[in-house]
Structures are given as structure tokens and as C-alpha cells.
């Protein structure tokens, strides 16, 4: 045998071994990259969700001020100051510099406005910029009235085109709207970062605002709140990954001119990973950009690719030596082959250990024989032992939640058919103890036949139950009152809107109650907020016991509650439920060793008897509640009618207390 033919098997074995090493190295690189991308995407989604939650809180705060004006009508400066102080602009509203009022004043009414403000103690009040114009929109009050907020008093934002456009958009839509990136208009030399301004329209009390023309005719002014993005981002709840660069841009095209916030302004290194999320905030589009810093890749991007490459190279050389020895001595070749088998098994174990060390389970499916292999970690995630799940595909499929099964199987089938290189799907799987656990399944076809038929499917399983629970908790916090657990104003308004859609369609009835606790403030002032909070929780529980499962009780602030009865036979049904709630709240409360007695003033508005829109029912029920309070409280007042019940109540300045 010539030397070339004698060395040919050795060369072929070396090339095949090196090729296998490259495939294993490449697979490990891809697994590491997917893990890095998953962690990066989770961090971006979490940051985006918290930005949305915070901006929603800002908008709800402005809606609360709108409601205050709509329910009160003429608001004094002292009343506005007291209301803003009760908002307690703490952690939930960090970033907001204050809350201010803008009045719409024709030129003919300007002298009267200035005279009133001077008489109210603002002797130096003047409008800037000066000049004659047909319409003025000066800032007449801003709270808290301290620091830089004093500079804004008297400023006419209508003279700034960017502000005027947003104010008119808020007027025409009737909704809060936000400006783009604004410079520091009144104090440009202070060095602070640019800001944005939220504003919402104020309409004349009792006026109809269903059409564009009605909203323009009923406008009396605006409320506004400037927001510094730097302070807002620094106060977001939850841990923010310091190794991820976050940019917030106004608009859909990121640029230095519309940059609102940067977590690392001095960073210039090219990122390993980049992604962007698009949001709609107050009628404007925002882009949330995220990119990795070197520390993120170092901390998260663990990979055994180098180990696999070195091990594979060594194994390739050993295989070449083995092939050479096989050409000269069969017995020696057999011994070396046994040793190589052990080395290969060790390499496979290291590969599995690298994946499962990251918390993922490994599964392997033989598509020809319908056999399945599940790693130890894969079964541990669901509490099973290796012999408790049969090695067949159907055993796994039957444990997928019925609501998620079709989508999960479709994703796998698309990969097997070659429509996509790999698949990734999230679904719930039944654990050994019967619980449902959220998992992320990833996989790809590792081997196909000559005609393209898939032969082997390999993938991983990740436990994402904690992440799903965290997302659900965030959604719950955004829609429920933190003290009582009842739906907050946003969720209650959504349910009212849905109920109105149903009764419009079915020609049915619904009722809306406004419930105000009459003597709560006296108890809260005397015994402290802790006792007041316990009293509010117990009152919420009693009201909830008085309604059906299909009804809703919500808390809209302080000692004010609302009740929605979405399905009624008659107005008398609403009277009956309201009276039941009034009597339940009139029963003494045993709290902290004291018997505390309160009462409730309840206003009722029914559809279609008293209104056919959300805003109309809301306004009428609120007015009926105030009518009940005006008649002494502890009674139910139907809109447009007489109280359904009235009793003698104890003195309002001292609740009945039994030690």
C-alpha cells in the first residue's frame, strides 16, 4: 500500500472529528447567545412595563383633578391647594414637578382676571410674555408653590407653538395629552435636563362634551404637570440592570435631538445586543432603546464553547492517532477505542451539565421511532422522577394546558416542516402535584434525511413561572387599590364602559352608586391613619358581601367608593341593594378594641332612566350622593327623586365609640 492511501483514513477521521467539534462549538455558541438575548429581552420588557405603569399613574392623577373640577364646579385657590396636597405626590408620582391650572381668558375679560388675582394676594401677578392678543391662557396657580414653580406663575403657554398644539389636542380629544421634548422655557440657564408636560382639559360643569364642537365651546382651561424623565426613571419600582443602557426618545425615529433620557450618557462602546420597544404615551409615540454594556455580557453570557473547542480538538487528534494505530494493530485500536468512548461520554455529560447548570432542562426526540429523552433537570422542573414519564411524545403533549396546546404544537410542527429554523413557545405544563407551571420551550431540528424529512428534534425547557407571576402582579397593581384590593378608578371605568355596551345591545338596565362615608374623617383624625385604614378595609368587605358576583365595588379615593350593578330588572332593585349597603355600613365596627360607628351617603344613577353615557351616569350619581350628604347623610338618594331612607344620626364631630 502506497503512503498516500495508508494515511487517507487518518486524514478522513481527523476531518470528520474536527467538523463534529465545530458543530458542537457552534451549537454551544447559539445556546449561549439565545440565553443572553432572553435575559436582555426580559430586562427591556420589564423596564418598558414599569414606564407604562408610571405614565398611566400620571394620567390618572390628572383625571382625578379633572373629576375634582367637574364635581365641584367653582374651585377656590385654597381648595385647589388642599386637593393637590391630598394627592401626596410621593414615590408613585416621582418626576412630577407640580400640578398647575391654566385659565382660558378672552382679551376683554383679562382686566377682571388680573383684578381678582391681585385681590387674592398675588399683588405682583403679571402675564408673560406681554403683548396684546385675542386670547390669553395664563397659569393662575401651581402647587406646590415653591422653588422653580414660582417662575411659571403668569406664563402664557399658548404663546409657545409646541405647547399650544398639545393643549388644543387635549381640548379636542377630551383626554390627557403629552408634549414632546421641551427645553427649560423659563430658566434655560439652570442646567437641568429637558422635560415633557402632561396637560388635560377642564370643561364647564354640567356641559355636554360628546362632540368636538361641544368640547371646544365648553372649555374653560387646562390642568398641567411638568415631568422630568431623569427623576421618573430613577424612581421606577423594581431592580434595573445597571449593565443595560436605556435611551428614551420622543417620536419613532431615535436621534440626539429627541432624546428624553439616557441611563449612561457617556457610554460610546458598540453594543453586543440592541432592541427597541415602541409605546404610545398621551397621544405621542415613544421609543425605548436598550443595548448591552460590556459588564452585561461578562456577567450573563456564560459559555462552554472554549471548553468544547479545546476538548473537541484534543479528541480529534486522539481519533487521528487511533486511526493510525488501527492500521497497524487491531488490539491496540480496540483499547484506544474504548478509551475514546469514555472521553466522548464525558464530553456529552459536560455539554448537558453546561445547559442544565443554567437552570434549563434538555429534551431529545427521535421523530422516526417516536421516542423521547428527558434530562434529569427537565423532569425536576415538574417534580417527576425519571421513570414516571413514559419516553413518548404523547405523554408530554397530554400534560400541556388545553388552552395552550394548539399553539405549542403548531410552533413545533412549523419547525419540523422546515418553515422556520427553530421554534420558541411559552405554555403551561401540569406538574406532578397538579399545579400548572409556565415554561419556555425552545428547539430545532438537528438531523434531516436526504429528502429533507426531519429525523431528530433537540431542545431545552426553561422555568418562567416566576416571571409570569411577576407580570401578573404588575397588571394587578396597576388596576386595583393597594389598601382594599378593590378595583381602582381605571379598572372600574373599564367595567362600566363594557357594561354600558352590553345594556345598549340588550336594552337592559344598570345602576351606578356613589358611596361616601359620612363620619370617617372624624375617626381618622382621632385614632390615626392605621385605624382609618382598617376601617376602610372592613367597610369594603361589608359592601362586597352585599352584592352579587357579577357586580363590582371600587374605591376611587379616600373614603369614596363606587358600585356597579350591570344587570337590573328595575330601579327598585337598585334601591334595595343600596339600602342593604347603607344598613351594613351603619352597623358598628369592632376595630382596635373600639366600637366605631359611621354612616354612608349613597347616590344612585340608573341607565337608561338618568343617562345613557359613562360621563353622564358618573356625574348624576355623584350629584345624587352630594344631595344625600346635604340632607344630613346616612341615606340613599335616587337621582332626580327623594331619599329612600333617612334616620337620625349622631353628631358629625364625634363618632359613637365604645371602649
User: How much is the pLDDT for 189?
Assistant: 47
| pLDDT over 70 at 312, yes or no | yes
* pLDDT tens digits along 409-426: 888 888 888 888 888 889
3-state secondary structure 170-200: HHHHCCCEECCCECCCCCHHHCCCCEEEEEE
Chosen CATH of 364-464 out of 1.10.3720.10, 3.30.450.20, 3.40.640.10, 3.90.45.10: 3.30.450.20
Most confident of 103-107, 243-247, 428-432: 103-107
Band of pLDDT at residue 87, cut at 50, 70 and 90: confident
Q: Which residues contact 179 (CB under 8 A, 6 or more apart)?
A: 162, 163, 166, 196, 197, 199, 284
Measured distance CA(518)–CA(508) in Å, rounded: 32
User: How much is the pLDDT for 346?
Assistant: 46
Measured distance CA(603)–CA(618) in Å, rounded: 10
Out of 103-107, 266-270, 312-316, 427-431, least confident range = 266-270
Q: Where are the domains of the chain?
A: 55-227, 234-299, 364-464, 480-658
Mean pLDDT of 361-380: 82
Most confident of 8-12, 322-326, 400-404, 634-638: 634-638
Higher pLDDT, 185 or 279: 279
Out of 326-335, 392-401, 445-454, least confident range = 326-335
Out of 324-333, 454-463, 497-506, least confident range = 324-333
Measured distance CA(201)–CA(222) in Å, rounded: 4
User: How much is the pLDDT for 336?
Assistant: 66
User: How much is the pLDDT for 90?
Assistant: 60
Out of 62-71, 159-168, 282-291, least confident range = 62-71
User: How much is the pLDDT for 645?
Assistant: 43
Band of pLDDT at residue 4, cut at 50, 70 and 90: low
Band of pLDDT at residue 294, cut at 50, 70 and 90: confident
User: How much is the pLDDT for 575?
Assistant: 92
User: How much is the pLDDT for 92?
Assistant: 59
User: How much is the pLDDT for 228?
Assistant: 86
Mean pLDDT of 15-34: 86
Out of 295-309, 331-345, 434-448, 531-545, least confident range = 331-345
What is the overall mean pLDDT for the chain?
84
User: How much is the pLDDT for 648?
Assistant: 32
Out of 252-256, 468-472, 585-589, 641-645, least confident range = 641-645
Which 3 state secondary structure label does DSSP give 532?
Answer: helix
Measured distance CA(425)–CA(444) in Å, rounded: 12
Measured distance CA(153)–CA(140) in Å, rounded: 6
Most confident of 29-33, 236-240, 330-334: 29-33
Mean pLDDT of 584-600: 91
Band of pLDDT at residue 91, cut at 50, 70 and 90: low
| pLDDT over 70 at 292, yes or no | yes
Higher pLDDT, 594 or 193: 594
User: How much is the pLDDT for 358?
Assistant: 57
User: How much is the pLDDT for 260?
Assistant: 87
Measured distance CA(559)–CA(538) in Å, rounded: 12
Q: Do domains 55-227 and 364-464 have the same CATH topology?
A: yes
Rg (CA), the chain: 34
User: How much is the pLDDT for 348?
Assistant: 52
- Residues forming beta bridges with residue 428, ordered by sequence position: 438
How does DSSP assign 117-161, residue by residue? Answer: HHHTT-TT---BS----SEE--EEEEES-STTHHHHTTB-GGGSH
Of all residues in the chain, the percent with pLDDT exceeding 70 is 88
User: How much is the pLDDT for 333?
Assistant: 56
* pLDDT tens digits along 260-280: 888 888 877 788 888 999 999
What's the count of helices (H) and strands (E) in the chain, helices before strands?
19, 25
Q: Which residues contact 342 (CB under 8 A, 6 or more apart)?
A: none
| pLDDT over 60 at 23, yes or no | yes
* pLDDT tens digits along 625-645: 999 999 999 999 998 754 444
Band of pLDDT at residue 512, cut at 50, 70 and 90: very high
Q: CATH assignment of 480-658? A: 3.30.70.270
Out of 91-105, 180-194, 207-221, 383-397, least confident range = 180-194
Measured distance CA(598)–CA(518) in Å, rounded: 6
Distances, alpha carbon 580 to alpha carbons 536, 571, 628, in Å: 18, 14, 16
Sign, CA torsion 50/51/52/57: positive
Distances, alpha carbon 200 to alpha carbons 62, 102, 292, 451, in Å: 7, 10, 37, 64
Mean pLDDT of 215-241: 84
Band of pLDDT at residue 566, cut at 50, 70 and 90: very high
User: How much is the pLDDT for 516?
Assistant: 94
User: How much is the pLDDT for 653?
Assistant: 39
* pLDDT tens digits along 473-492: 777 777 788 888 899 988 99
Determine the Cα angle at 27 with ends 431 and 407, to 5°: 40
Which 3 state secondary structure label does DSSP give 371?
Answer: strand
411 by Cβ neighbours in 10 Å (0-12 / 13-18 / 19+) ranks as buried
Band of pLDDT at residue 61, cut at 50, 70 and 90: confident
How does DSSP assign 95-120, residue by residue? Answer: TB--EEEEE-EEGGGHHHHHHHHHHT
55-227: CATH superfamily: CHASE domain (3.30.450.350)
304 near 357, Cβ under 8 Å? no
Amino acid at each position: 500500500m502506497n503512503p498516500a492511501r495508508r494515511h487517507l483514513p487518518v486524514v478522513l477521521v481527523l476531518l470528520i472529528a474536527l467538523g463534529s467539534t465545530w458543530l458542537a462549538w457552534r451549537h454551544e455558541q447559539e445556546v449561549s447567545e439565545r440565553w443572553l438575548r432572553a435575559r436582555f429581552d426580559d430586562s427591556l420588557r420589564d423596564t418598558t412595563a414599569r414606564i407604562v405603569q408610571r405614565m398611566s399613574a400620571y394620567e390618572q392623577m390628572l383625571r382625578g383633578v379633572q373629576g375634582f373640577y367637574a364635581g365641584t364646579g367653582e374651585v377656590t385657590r385654597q381648595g385647589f391647594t388642599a386637593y393637590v396636597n391630598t394627592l401626596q405626590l410621593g414615590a408613585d408620582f416621582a418626576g412630577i414637578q407640580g400640578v398647575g391650572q391654566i385659565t382660558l381668558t378672552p382679551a376683554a375679560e383679562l382686566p377682571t382676571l388680573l383684578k381678582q388675582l391681585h385681590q387674592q394676594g398675588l399683588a405682583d401677578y403679571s402675564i408673560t410674555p406681554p403683548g396684546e392678543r385675542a386670547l390669553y391662557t395664563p397659569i393662575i396657580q401651581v402647587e406646590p408653590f415653591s422653588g422653580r414653580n414660582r417662575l411659571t406663575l403668569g406664563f402664557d403657554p399658548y404663546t409657545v407653538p409646541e405647547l399650544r398644539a398639545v393643549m388644543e389636542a387635549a381640548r379636542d380629544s377630551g383626554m390627557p395629552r403629552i408634549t414632546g421634548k421641551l427645553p427649560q422655557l423659563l430658566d434655560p440657564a439652570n442646567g437641568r435636563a429637558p422635560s415633557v408636560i402632561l396637560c388635560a382639559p377642564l370643561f364647564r360643569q354640567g356641559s355636554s362634551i360628546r362632540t368636538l364642537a361641544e368640547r371646544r365651546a365648553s372649555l374653560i382651561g387646562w390642568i398641567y404637570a411638568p415631568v422630568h424623565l431623569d427623576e421618573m426613571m430613577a424612581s421606577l419600582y423594581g431592580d434595573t440592570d445597571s449593565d443595560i443602557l436605556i435611551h428614551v426618545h420622543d417620536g419613532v425615529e431615535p436621534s440626539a435631538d429627541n432624546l428624553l433620557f439616557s441611563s449612561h450618557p457617556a457610554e460610546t462602546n458598540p453594543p453586543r445586543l440592541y432592541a427597541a420597544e415602541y409605546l404610545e404615551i398621551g397621544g405621542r409615540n415613544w421609543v425605548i432603546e436598550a443595548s448591552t454594556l460590556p459588564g452585561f455580557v461578562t456577567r450573563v453570557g456564560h459559555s462552554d464553547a472554549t471548553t468544547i473547542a479545546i476538548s473537541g480538538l484534543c479528541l480529534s487528534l486522539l481519533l487521528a492517532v487511533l486511526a493510525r494505530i488501527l492500521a497497524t494493530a487491531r488490539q491496540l485500536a480496540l483499547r484506544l477505542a474504548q478509551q475514546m468512548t469514555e472521553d466522548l461520554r464525558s464530553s456529552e455529560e459536560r455539554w448537558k451539565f453546561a445547559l442544565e447548570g443554567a437552570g434549563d432542562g434538555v429534551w431529545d426526540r427521535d421523530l422516526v421511532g417516536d421516542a423521547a429523552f428527558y434530562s434529569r433537570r427537565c423532569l425536576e422542573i415538574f417534580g417527576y422522577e425519571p421513570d414516571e414519564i413514559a419516553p413518548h411524545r404523547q405523554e408530554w403533549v397530554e400534560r400541556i394546558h388545553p388552552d395552550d396546546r394548539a399553539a405549542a404544537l403548531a410552533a413545533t410542527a412549523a419547525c419540523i416542516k422546515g418553515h422556520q429554523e427553530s421554534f420558541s413557545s411559552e405554555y403551561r405544563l401540569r406538574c406532578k402535584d397538579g399545579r400548572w407551571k409556565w415554561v419556555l420551550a425552545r428547539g430545532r431540528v438537528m438531523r434531516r434525511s436526504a429528502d429533507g424529512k426531519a429525523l431528530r428534534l433537540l431542545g431545552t425547557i426553561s422555568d418562567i413561572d416566576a416571571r409570569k407571576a411577576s407580570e401578573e402582579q404588575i397588571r394587578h397593581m396597576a388596576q386595583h387599590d393597594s389598601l382594599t384590593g378593590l378595583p381602582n378608578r381605571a379598572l372600574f371605568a373599564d367595567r362600566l364602559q363594557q357594561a354600558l355596551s352590553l345594556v345598549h345591545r340588550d336594552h337592559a338596565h344598570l345602576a351606578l352608586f356613589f358611596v361616601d362615608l359620612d363620619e370617617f374623617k372624624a375617626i381618622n383624625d382621632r385614632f390615626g391613619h392605621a385605624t382609618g385604614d382598617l376601617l376602610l378595609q372592613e367597610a369594603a368587605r361589608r359592601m362586597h358581601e352585599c352584592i352579587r358576583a357579577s357586580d363590582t365595588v371600587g374605591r376611587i379615593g379616600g373614603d369614596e367608593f363606587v358600585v356597579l350593578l350591570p344587570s337590573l330588572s328595575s330601579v327598585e332593585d337598585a334601591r334595595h341593594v343600596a339600602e342593604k349597603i347603607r344598613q351594613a355600613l351603619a352597623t358598628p365596627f369592632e376595630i382596635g378594641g373600639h366600637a366605631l360607628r359611621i354612616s354612608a351617603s349613597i347616590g344612585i344613577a340608573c341607565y337608561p332612566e338618568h343617562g345613557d353615557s359613562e360621563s353622564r351616569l358618573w356625574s348624576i350619581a355623584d350629584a345624587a350622593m352630594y344631595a344625600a350628604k346635604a340632607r344630613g347623610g346616612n341615606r340613599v338618594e335616587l337621582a332626580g327623586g327623594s331619599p329612600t331612607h333617612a334616620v337620625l344620626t349622631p353628631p358629625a364631630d364625634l363618632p359613637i365609640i365604645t371602649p
